[in-house]
A and B are shown apart, each in its own frame.
Chain A
């Protein structure tokens, strides 16, 4: 098994240059999505099917009454217990040995359950048109550059970050770095914290946030939705069993009916003979 890696994002070192967004588009060959001016420096409101990471710009009044201009590189968290993986009816979403969560487009049917259940709202559906002009949809999100990891390279966003706000490495080492960083910045940002929510089993993108998660529009304690757990761990297996039961019933009925109708035919033939 490969080492489990974590992307450590220290938002307090980010200067909002958006090179991570460009590097992502470049490596993953994603088309540009021109946007109208949204009233701030932020380009897109959130991640989309063609924009896998978005730099958030947040104007925040801190506890001293001053203005903090906060930045956050937002992308898929790669949860250890990923809700998207739980709800996918086609097993199209899976974990890699690196700890990343990836979507298999061969299996994805575009149902959108993952989109509705992601606690961080990072997955989106993209519409494609096949050669017959028929439309179909597939889920898209950040892959943590799993294709680069397989080549022994770090994710594109991390390698391009010029302030060192992002680092990539061994899970325990990165979490330790995050905790040390929080201690360093406590006097400047009293609310600073490591964001590695345990409600989803921890994530493979770990943040040092300068403020509470809600300031960044993040859930304070994200959880895998109960419905998702019920769906994956109970309903789906039972559902598959039910399919089995009904299939058996149909097959059984078919066999019995055939035998019975044969008997009926036989009777008819008998009747015919009698008639003669």
Chain B
């Protein structure tokens, strides 16, 4: 899709970051990740990556953060002074903490870290998350063959990211994809990824005029939504991460209409 609300510059920066991550994945020792597929835990919605034992190489992690810093500075020289401080703050101990907190997406910790050290709020989590993803993606690649479906409401079965993006394949098969770890799994065409509702009367689709290939699937029961993109119509298939970014206008529309990233069924007495 060429039309996107995201600026060309930001798209290019993201492309560069994705290229870096692809490179980093090659330097990960596949032996360092040992998945433990606990069927009972997974059917209860525990992300597989949380069960796997991942032997993080801290020196690699630190080197990657340095590479992102270089890329960000090249892209915007003004960031140099802000990012320089990260270099002095990061040591092995903090890196281990960052990996842990990024893994569980602990925004509170990162916001606190930024405030304590006088950094801009986005910096710590952005860096940690970007450098963590290659590990998640290699984990997902290793166990992809076991991932066929997800537990409604539990998000991505590999990394736990809230489910929000599906693509259509073949004859209209709905494949949920995770823009974070790139895992994918099958879902019913009429099924809410958040509450499992498959009643066609309460599942609606919002479409944007002039956007022929996207739908927002909303659930009236839990008010959750996901984006459903018919990438079969595309001339070239984008990576899930870029697809998620370029369809961000759908998130705006859905949220303006009162739907949520993670749906919840309200308890009424």
Contact = CB atoms under 8 A, between A and B. Distances in A.
A151 interface: yes
B171 A151 contact: no
A151 B3 contact: yes
Chain B binding surface SS class: loop
Interface stretch (B30-38, B58-66, B72-80, B229-237): B229-237
Contacts of A168: 235
Interface string A3-21: 0010000000000000000
A24 B1 CA distance: 20
Interface in B222-252: 230, 232-236
B235 A150 contact: no
18 contacts: A5-B235, A149-B235, A150-B2, A151-B1, A151-B2, A151-B3, A152-B1, A152-B234, A152-B235, A152-B236, A153-B1, A153-B213, A153-B234, A154-B233, A159-B230, A159-B233, A168-B235, A169-B235
B212 interface: yes
Contacts of B234: 152-154
A27 B234 CA distance: 15
- Prevailing SS type, chain A contact patch: mixed
B171 A154 contact: no
Contacts of B235: 5, 149, 152-154, 168-169
Interface string A151-173: 11110000100100000110000
Given A152-B236, A162-B171, 10 more contacts: A151-B3, A152-B2, A152-B235, A153-B213, A153-B233, A153-B234, A153-B235, A154-B233, A159-B233, A168-B235
Interface string A122-152: 0000000000000000000000000011111
A207 B212 CA distance: 27
A256 B182 CA distance: 81
A63 B212 CA distance: 45
A271 B140 CA distance: 108
Nearest to B172: A162
Contacts of B171: 162
Nearest to B213: A153
Contacts of A153: 1, 212-213, 233-235
Nearest to B236: A152
A204 to B, nearest CB: 14
Nearest to A169: B235
A152 B230 CA distance: 12
Contacts of B236: 152
A168 B132 CA distance: 37
B249 to A, nearest CB: 14
B163 to A, nearest CB: 25
B232 A159 contact: yes
Nearest to A155: B233
A151 B210 CA distance: 10
Contacts of A159: 230, 232-233
